[in-house]
């Protein structure tokens, strides 16, 4: 493919578009991958939408825990929609060009939603901490106003910082190539296309990654250390099992998301490779959001009961 718009001999970037190579190295699997990703996207949309619907309609789910769950499901739909539609478009059309502005916008939304997910997971762990460690004070501490404030802070807090970071990244000069060996505009492959010194931008990325990932993760660890300590002091095994079941789904989601994302972004620059980066990115941008609705619904009796009522209601209306 011709690298249009690149002037490698100068210091000024003339790149007008990038080429997302994606899965072009697997030409015989294009149709198969298209089908798989289409199914995954439908599962994400339908699964998370059902959780949002039942948390809104079912009176038994009008609690802070499920308010945060509905927000998390909304976030997962947005998060996956940043990358998966573009993957499907590239697979269906084989047109892999993306403008510099389009690439910057995709990266910006991806960074904002990733940071939002970190903070929202921390808020959800705080909710479980209050519910288990301070059950008598729970109605006073987790009021509807407080829940709305925590959720708004999770959604809006990262916006300005991540817009600034995106502008900083795309202020670099791109004169090496315009081919991105990835399925979306991610930070590591974009840095590899930049000419000149990128150390300042790389330090900034690491600082932001530490703040937006490590800080929420430490808050989650603190919450769960206190939760586990409280659960172990409960007098009966049944009480301990019931208390742990209320937070086990969230804990599993936390482990899946932070393990894959931190491995990708906090690795040394020398250990990055296109294949490993794509594999890890697939896991935390697509696979984990696909499993999240299943994790929360299959491990939560209230959600299962609400889904059964919703399906029965729909069946009755269809039959009549």
User: Which tens digits make up the pLDDT trace of 81-100?
Assistant: 999 999 999 999 888 899 98
User: Which tens digits make up the pLDDT trace of 164-201?
Assistant: 999 999 988 887 678 888 889 988 888 888 887 788 88
User: Which tens digits make up the pLDDT trace of 261-299?
Assistant: 776 666 665 555 666 777 778 887 888 888 887 787 766
Q: Residues of the chain with pLDDT > 70: what percent?
A: 89
User: Which tens digits make up the pLDDT trace of 138-147?
Assistant: 999 999 999 9
Residue 203 and residue 224 in contact, taking contact as beta carbons nearer than 8 Å: no
Question: What CATH topology corresponds to 17-301?
Answer: Rhopdopsin 7-helix transmembrane proteins (1.20.1070)
Stretch among 154-163, 239-248, 267-276 having the lowest mean pLDDT: 267-276
According to DSSP, the residues that pair with 97 across neighbouring strands are 19
DSSP of 11-55, one letter per residue? SS----EEEE-TTTT-GGGHHHHHHHHHHHHHHHHHHHHHHHHHH
Does residue 18 surpass a pLDDT of 80? Answer: yes
According to DSSP, the residues that pair with 17 across neighbouring strands are 99
Alpha-carbon distance values, 63 to 55, 143, 287 (Å) = 9, 10, 28
Q: Please report which confidence band the pLDDT of residue 305 belongs to, taking 50, 70 and 90 as the band edges.
A: confident
pLDDT of residue 4: 46
Tell me the domain boundaries of the chain.
17-301
CA 81 to chain centre: 10
Name the residue among 186, 154, 215 with its Cα closest to residue 285. 186
Alpha carbon distance 107, 163 (integer Å)? 9
Name the residue among 260, 214, 248, 183 with its Cα closest to residue 115. 214
Sign, CA torsion 184/186/192/193: positive
Alpha carbon distance 158, 113 (integer Å)? 8
The 3 state secondary structure assigned to 100-132 is HHHHHHHHHHHHHHHHHHHHHHHHHHHHHHHHH
User: Which tens digits make up the pLDDT trace of 99-125?
Assistant: 989 999 999 999 999 999 999 999 999
pTM: 0.87
Q: Please report which confidence band the pLDDT of residue 27 belongs to, taking 50, 70 and 90 as the band edges.
A: confident
Residue 302 and residue 245 in contact, taking contact as beta carbons nearer than 8 Å: no
Q: Would you give the DSSP letter of residue 194? A: E
Q: Please report which confidence band the pLDDT of residue 250 belongs to, taking 50, 70 and 90 as the band edges.
A: confident
pLDDT of residue 9: 44
Q: Please report which confidence band the pLDDT of residue 1 belongs to, taking 50, 70 and 90 as the band edges.
A: very low
Tokens coding 44: 């994400």
Alpha-carbon distance values, 48 to 125, 178, 197, 293 (Å) = 20, 36, 42, 6
């Amino acid at each position: 493919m011709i690298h249009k718009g690149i002037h490698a001999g100068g210091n000024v970037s003339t790149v007008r578009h990038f080429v997302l190579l994606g899965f072009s190295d697997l030409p015989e699997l294009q149709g198969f991958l298209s089908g798989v990703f289409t199914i995954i996207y439908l599962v994400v949309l339908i699964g998370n939408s059902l959780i949002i619907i039942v948390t809104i309609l079912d009176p038994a789910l009008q609690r802070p825990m499920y308010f945060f769950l509905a927000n998390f499901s909304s976030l997962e739909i947005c998060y996956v929609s940043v990358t998966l539609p573009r993957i499907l478009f590239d697979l269906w059309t084989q047109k892999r060009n993306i403008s510099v502005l389009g690439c910057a916008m995709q990266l910006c939304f991806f960074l904002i939603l990733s940071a939002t997910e970190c903070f929202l997971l921390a808020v959800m762990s705080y909710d479980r901490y209050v519910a288990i460690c301070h059950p008598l004070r729970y109605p006073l501490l987790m009021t509807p106003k407080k829940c709305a404030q925590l959720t708004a802070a999770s959604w809006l807090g990262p916006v300005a910082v991540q817009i600034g970071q995106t502008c900083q990244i795309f202020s670099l000069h791109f004169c090496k190539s315009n081919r991105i060996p990835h399925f979306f505009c991610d930070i590591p492959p974009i840095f590899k296309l930049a000419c000149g010194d990128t150390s300042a931008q790389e330090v900034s990325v690491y600082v932001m990654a530490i703040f937006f990932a490590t800080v929420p993760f430490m808050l989650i660890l603190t919450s769960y250390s206190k939760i586990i300590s409280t659960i172990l002091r409960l007098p009966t095994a049944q009480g301990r099992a019931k208390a742990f079941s209320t937070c086990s789904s969230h804990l599993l989601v936390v482990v899946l998301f932070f393990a894959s994302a931190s491995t990708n972004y906090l690795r040394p620059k020398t250990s990055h490779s296109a294949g490993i980066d794509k594999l890890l990115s697939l896991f935390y941008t697509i696979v984990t959001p696909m499993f999240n609705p299943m994790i929360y619904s299959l491990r939560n009796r209230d959600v299962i009961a609400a889904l059964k009522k919703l399906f029965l209601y729909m069946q009755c209306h269809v039959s009549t």
